[in-house]
């Protein structure tokens, strides 16, 4: 929920890092807005205006602080304290729909009028959809200018600008300085890398362990402490590597092969997969009211729910894992990728040992594919084809603006998909934090209870039931059972 002004001011006085990114302080007397952790002298209470995001501060006429760098704050939890329509809209903006189709196209996709959409954004975020998109681009560009030695044109296109001229204008407007004056003074990142920040506590190694046992051979792997992965970005392909930074609050993302113009998409997908925008303090405070979850949280601080690089791929991964082990599902997905995926050519395929060089098949490639040929049972192969057909026909929406309730109905209407699979798809592929497979045997065993009793107990965990499920899946009692795909 939105924070009360008095709470914000106390957090500002204490420079409490738990609130970093949850709000920004606009100071009326200076015309500057800051993060809660800004080292500058704390302004008087009557000079402070507390805003939910950086775009709201800039829309109100404030400029970013040069000391605390608002663009470097961890991501604001997009689903917290906003309407479902705004949450879906933010994901569509991140996917570039606003750039492609304008506010009208965004409103149509969300099923509302343009005026109503603007009103919702201003009500919940303090800024219009256009202002949100502009701030997002300019802040990502500022981060690249400060943290890399990339040439200005490369920074501009990596941040989603169509021209260097528009990039220069946007940076001047947001920061009141030309791009060259935003250049960092420290040691820049190595070529082709960016740093992404998480809100502490953050255990990147635990997430890598989770992703490692679910890695699809040929498409991805965790090797020498880093995740290597082939991404499908529209009609393009990229090969990336993600590894923990030396400090515990950052990830380092490296683009080994691909177009630098896709950097924003790569950064957004990495944030989703590693759940970087999660607010551990809020989630922990809420779930910790249950004694069992409090015990789990004591040993596993900073709960996260791993997301999806590709929602369609993750949906099939979960579908194929319904009745078999995690390792068995990975093997089947690997066969599916090897037989029907796209094997990359150099330079995209040029890696240390060629172990990661396949793009997972898109839905179109599987509509009529002879999937039985890879040793998959006929009924399961039919289920895979049905999902692919539904996606191609537009009968199953797994995109960034999908309505979770509608997608749940669409999934349950498909053969071979039950409530367990549908909830896991919502949790990981659609990033629905309250999705919860109450019938999961592992969850029931962890609490030594029935599905009905589990569902009743989980009502108190809303809106973070998905995080509670991840905690319980990590208990020894749940380990032998099915776990999140």
CA 229 to chain CA mean position, Å = 16
Look at the alpha carbons of 444, 449, 455, 457 in this order and tell me if their dihedral is positive or negative. Answer: negative
Tell me which residues are annotated as active site: 34, 440
Q: State the alpha helices, DSSP H only, in 81-176.
A: 84-94, 97-110, 114-125, 129-147, 152-158, 164-175
CA dist., res. 229 & res. 221, Å (int)? 7
- Eight-state DSSP code of residue 436: -
CA–CA distance from 200 to each of 196, 248, 282 (Å)? 13, 8, 12
In 322-476, which ranges are continuous DSSP H helix?
326-340, 363-366, 378-392, 404-412, 419-428, 441-447, 451-458, 465-473
| Euclidean distance between CA atoms 367 and 389, whole angstroms | 5
Angle at Cα 143 formed by Cα 356 and Cα 120, nearest 5°? 95
Give the separation between CA 329 and CA 90, rounded to whole angstroms: 32
The DSSP code for 48 is: E
- State the Cα–Cα distance between residues 76 and 278, nearest whole angstrom: 8
Residues paired with residue 228 on neighbouring β-strands, in sequence order: 221, 241
Residue 269 to residue 267: CA distance in whole angstroms = 6
- Beta strands 236-244; 226-233: pairing state: antiparallel
- Residues listed for the chain: 485
Contact 481/446 with Cβ under 8 angstroms? no
Backbone torsions φ then ψ of 218, nearest 5 degrees: 90, -30
């Amino acid at each position: 929920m939105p924070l009360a002004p008095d709470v914000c001011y106390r957090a500002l006085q204490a420079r409490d890092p738990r609130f970093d990114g949850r709000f920004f302080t606009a100071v009326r007397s200076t015309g500057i807005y800051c993060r809660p952790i800004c080292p500058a002298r704390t302004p008087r209470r009557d000079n402070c205006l507390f805003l939910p995001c950086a775009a709201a501060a800039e829309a109100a006429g404030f400029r970013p602080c040069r000391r605390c760098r608002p663009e470097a704050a961890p991501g604001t939890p997009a689903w917290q304290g906003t309407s479902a329509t705004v949450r879906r809209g933010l994901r569509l903006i991140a996917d570039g729909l606003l750039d492609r189709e304008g506010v009208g196209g965004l409103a149509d996709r969300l099923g509302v009028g343009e005026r109503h959409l603007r009103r919702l954004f201003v009500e919940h975020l303090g800024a219009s959809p256009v202002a949100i998109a502009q701030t997002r681009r300019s802040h990502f560009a500022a981060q690249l200018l400060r943290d890399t030695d990339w040439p200005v044109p490369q920074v501009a296109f990596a941040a989603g600008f169509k021209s260097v001229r528009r990039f220069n204008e946007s940076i001047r407007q947001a920061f009141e300085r030309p791009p060259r004056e935003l250049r960092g003074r420290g040691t820049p990142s190595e070529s082709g890398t960016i740093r992404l920040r998480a809100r502490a506590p953050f255990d990147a190694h635990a997430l890598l362990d989770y992703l490692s046992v679910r890695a699809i051979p040929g498409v991805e792997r965790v090797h020498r402490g880093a995740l290597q992965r082939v991404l499908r970005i529209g009609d393009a392909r990229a090969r990336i590597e993600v590894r923990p930074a030396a400090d515990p609050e950052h990830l380092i993302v490296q683009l080994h092969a691909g177009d630098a113009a896709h950097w924003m998409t790569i950064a957004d997908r990495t944030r989703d997969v590693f759940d970087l925008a999660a607010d551990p303090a809020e989630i922990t405070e809420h779930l910790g009211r249950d004694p069992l979850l409090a015990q789990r949280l004591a040993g596993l601080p900073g709960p996260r729910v791993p997301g999806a690089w590709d929602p369609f791929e993750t949906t099939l991964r979960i579908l194929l894992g319904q009745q078999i082990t995690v390792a068995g599902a990975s093997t089947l997905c690997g066969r599916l990728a090897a037989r029907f995926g796209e094997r990359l050519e150099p330079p995209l395929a040029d890696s240390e040992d060629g172990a990661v060089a396949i793009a997972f098949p898109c839905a179109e490639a599987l509509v009529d594919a002879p999937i039985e040929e890879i040793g998959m049972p006929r009924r399961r192969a039919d289920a895979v084809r049905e999902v692919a057909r539904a996606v191609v026909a537009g009968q199953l929406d797994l995109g960034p603006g999908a309505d979770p309730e509608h997608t749940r109905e669409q999934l349950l209407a498909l053969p071979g998909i039950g409530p367990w699979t549908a909830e896991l798809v919502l949790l990981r592929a659609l990033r629905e934090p309250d999705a919860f497979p109450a019938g999961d045997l592992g969850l029931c065993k962890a609490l030594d209870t029935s599905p009905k009793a589990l569902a009743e107990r989980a009502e108190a965990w809303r809106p973070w039931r998905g995080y509670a499920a991840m905690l319980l899946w990590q208990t020894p009692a749940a380990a032998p059972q099915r776990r999140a795909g």
